[in-house]
Chain A
Amino acid sequence: MLAYLLMSGIATGALYAMVAIGLVLVYRSTGHINFSHGELFMFGGFIAYTFFVILGVPYFLSLILAVIGGFVLGVLSDRAVYRPLIKAPPLTMVLATVGFSFFLKGIARYFWGSMEGGDYVAFPAAMDPSPIPIGSINVFPQQLLILAGAIVFVVGFTIFFRMTRAGKMMQATSENPTAAYLSGIRVERVYTLTWGAGSAIAAAAAVLMAPMTLLSPDVGFQLLLKAFAATVLGGLGSMPGAIVGGLLVGILESLGGGYIHSGVQDVSAFIVIIIVLVLRPAGLFGVRNIRDT
């Protein structure tokens, strides 16, 4: 029981971590929280659904197409929402991204919402869904795929961030935008890249998650809240914090749902957010506010 709950907690936690990484990425470089990040996640899932289920493209190709689609959507949302408001205070940016998130949600509901009757569409399993026994526990192949996918994306992303020129530019911009600008980095382009990258990794998470659950236009907001909980727990603005926070939230949820009550699973993220913000707003990794919001 414990091993099983831990396994499923780690798998969902890995997804939360992937969504949280995008959130932290944008927060670190721009100082704003993208409230439409969950909807970018949800759109990634529906793009994959369109290719995989409707057009019959293989799963892994759909995954790549969804990542590309997510990147494009992130770039578009940077152009539409963030760029015009680049100097605006947090209040304005929150309102704009909240408005944008509902706009996207409505569009998704319009196109995909009534596809299979209700608001939910089923995303068929990518491979044989029968559980594989590992040691004493049974593991779903999709959970292993989620873990593998999350590791690939996080490692790949870290390499991109640390090793490549574009990644270093992103780091420099988040450290000090003025200094980055003075040393010849086109800061606005870096912001665009940041939004695109964050959205792409969220899209990947959505495609990995979809076969385990159902897909609906409302799923984005649920994931956004989990990612909020992960980032707040890890410390808003900390990249390792987002990963550890995501895993912890996933495990906490799974254990709470298994041992206390299944309803606890839905509500644990909110409780985590409220408790952490009230008792220790800096989170586990104690990152100081990058920009005083």
Chain B
Amino acid sequence: MQALLARRNIVAVGIIVFAILPTFANAYIVFVANLALMYILLSVGLNMLLGYAGQLAFPNAALFGVGAYTSGLLRLEFDLPYWITLPAGAAFATLIGLAIALPALRLRGLYLALATIAFAQAALWVFGHWNSVTYGGAGFRVPPMDFSPLPLDPSTGIYYLSLIIVLVAVPLGWNIVRSRIGRAWVALRESEVAAETLGIDLTLYKAYAYVISGLYAGTAGALFSALLGIVTPESFDLFQVIVHFCMVIVGGIGSLWGGVLGAVILVGLLEVLRTFRDLQEIAFGGLLLFTVLVVPGGAIAMIKRYLPGWNEPLRRIGKKR
């Protein structure tokens, strides 16, 4: 019985459910599932930076916004097809991620947190005030994606596009964290001095963490602008950061699959409380605090304790960091 609940089986069932969902669920459920796919990308990207490389940085929501603005504006102003706007959004966010990495590489711990929070707020200010390009605080509407010649309506098209991207991105992330790069991240997270002694180029591998998480966040942002059809600055404020953090922490920091689970579960909570900003803040803030205080390993630590087949390499289980 327990073997049936191994990760391999759960993931397989998850993929099948996501794949056939549009055939029986209504449009709203498909929309929420699509949001879940997008948050999986964000969570996997943030987990690499925060959980694996141990960099206490807040740029993700801003890079998410950069991806959304870039792809949305290209679609709106130049009427480009999705196979150009999507990679362009992802690429530009990756580039900005690299640009943050350069100063951020000098900073550690609290200083890094402060600098990246300032960056996130500055980016938000640019979204809201660069009226001639970003349409200011009111934002702009994005024309729906056109999937011709494929016979897909826009929402189904975006759904399957997101699913395909997730099916590429999550295994890619899983391979990255188990590769030389992932091992280097964990080493430098545990001790920068020890990692350097082992011949790990700290600057290079930290830069990898920023760039890769920027790529994931930018891709998610590009999907977000197409999915919602409207881009406004407040979609990328600090609350968005909290949502991403919550997904990573509640799922299990430093565990890729934990982050995926956290994203899928918490999208439900986010949607239920959609119209109640105050309750969203109480729920997500409280959940983040509760998890850090009571279950530091997140949900995945519980799962690993009771179910076989969920083990991951390079992962300390349930230990306070």
Which residues B259-315 have CB closer than 8 A to chain A? 277-290, 292-293, 296
On chain B, the residues within 8 Å of A263 by CB distance are: 125, 129
Q: Chain B contacts of A33 at CB under 8 A?
A: 110, 113-114
The CA-CA distance from A270 to B58 in the complex, in Å, is: 14
Q: Does B115 lie within 8 Å of A273, measured CB to CB?
A: yes
Mark B112-130 against chain A: 1 for CB-CB distance below 8 A, else 0: 0111011101100100010
Closest 5 CB pairs of A and B: A102-B285, A99-B288, A106-B281, A293-B109, A106-B282
Chain A positions within 8 Å of B106 at CB level: 278, 281
Interface stretch, picked from A11-19, A84-92, A169-177, is A84-92
> Is A270's CB under 8 angstroms from B288's CB?
no
Q: Taking each of B54, B238, B242, B278, which has the highest tally of chain A beta carbons within 10 Å of its own beta carbon? A: B278
The CA of A84 and the CA of B296, in the complex, are separated in Å by 12
Residue in chain A with minimal CB distance to B189: A91
Query: What are 22 inter-chain pairs, A to B, with CB distance below 8 A?
Result: A33-B110, A33-B113, A81-B293, A85-B292, A88-B321, A90-B56, A91-B321, A96-B289, A99-B290, A102-B282, A103-B285, A103-B289, A105-B285, A106-B283, A106-B285, A270-B118, A271-B118, A271-B122, A274-B119, A277-B103, A277-B111, A278-B103
Q: Which residues of A contact B109 (CB under 8 A)?
A: 90, 292-293
Over the window 134-173 of chain B, the binary record of Cβ atoms lying under 8 Å from chain A Cβ atoms (1 yes, 0 no) is 0000000000000000000000000000000000000000
Distance A84 CA – B239 CA, assembled complex (angstroms): 25
Which one of A107-115, A122-130, A144-152, A196-204 is at the interface?
Answer: A107-115
- Nearest-CB residue, chain B, relative to A81: B289
Neighbour of A281 across the interface among B107, B238, B279, B292, CB < 8 A: B107
A266 within 8 Å of B by Cβ? Answer: yes
Given contacts A217-B278, A221-B238, 16 further A-B contacts (CB under 8 A): A80-B289, A90-B113, A95-B292, A98-B285, A98-B288, A99-B246, A99-B284, A99-B286, A102-B284, A107-B278, A225-B117, A225-B121, A267-B125, A271-B122, A277-B103, A293-B111
Interface residues of B (CB under 8 A from A): 50, 54, 56, 103, 106-111, 113-115, 117-119, 121-122, 125, 129, 238-239, 242, 245-246, 249, 277-290, 292-293, 296, 320-321
Nearest residue, chain A, Cβ from B130: A263
In angstroms, how far is the closest chain B Cβ from the Cβ of A101? Answer: 7
> Which partner residue on chain B sits nearest A119 by CB separation?
B277
Complex: chain A residue closest to B248, CB-CB: A95
In the assembled complex, the Cα of A84 lies from the Cα of B289 at a distance in Å of 11
Contact A274 B118 (CB under 8 A): yes
Q: Is the CB of A228 within 8 A of B54?
A: no
**Nearest CB in chain B: distance from A286 CB, A:** 15
A219 to chain B, nearest CB (A): 13
With a CB–CB cut-off of 8 A, which chain A residues contact B246?
99
Interchain CA distance A80-B285 in the complex, whole Å = 13
B284 to chain A, nearest CB (A): 6
Is B119's CB under 8 angstroms from A103's CB? no
A6 contacts B by Cβ under 8 Å = no
Complex formed: what's the CA distance from A187 to B277 in Å? 39
Chain A min CB distance to B251 (Å): 13
Q: Shortest distance in angstroms between B147's beta carbon and chain A's nearest beta carbon?
A: 38
Smallest CB separation, A107 vs chain B (Å)? 6
Partner of B277, one of A85, A109, A225, A281: A109
CB-CB < 8 A to B283: which residues of A?
106
A96-B293 contact, Cβ under 8 Å, with A103-B281, A106-B281, A225-B117 = yes
A89 and B288 form a contact (CB under 8 A) = no
Among A85, A232, A270, residue most surrounded by chain B Cβ atoms (within 10 Å): A270
> Could you say which of A102, A104, A217, A263 has the most chain B C-beta atoms within 10 Å of its C-beta?
A102
A277 touches B293 (CB 8 A): no
A273 in contact with B118 (CB, 8 Å): yes
* A94 interface contact, C-beta 8 A: yes
Across the interface, which residues of A come within 8 angstroms of B111, CB to CB?
A: 236, 277, 281, 293
Q: With A99-B292, A103-B289 given, is the CB distance from A277 to B107 under 8 Å?
A: yes
Alpha-carbon gap, A99 to B249, bound state (A): 11
- The distance from the CB of A93 to the nearest CB of chain B, in whole angstroms, is 9
Tell me if A49 counts as interface (CB < 8 A to partner B). no
CB pair B285–A95 under 8 Å, yes or no, is no
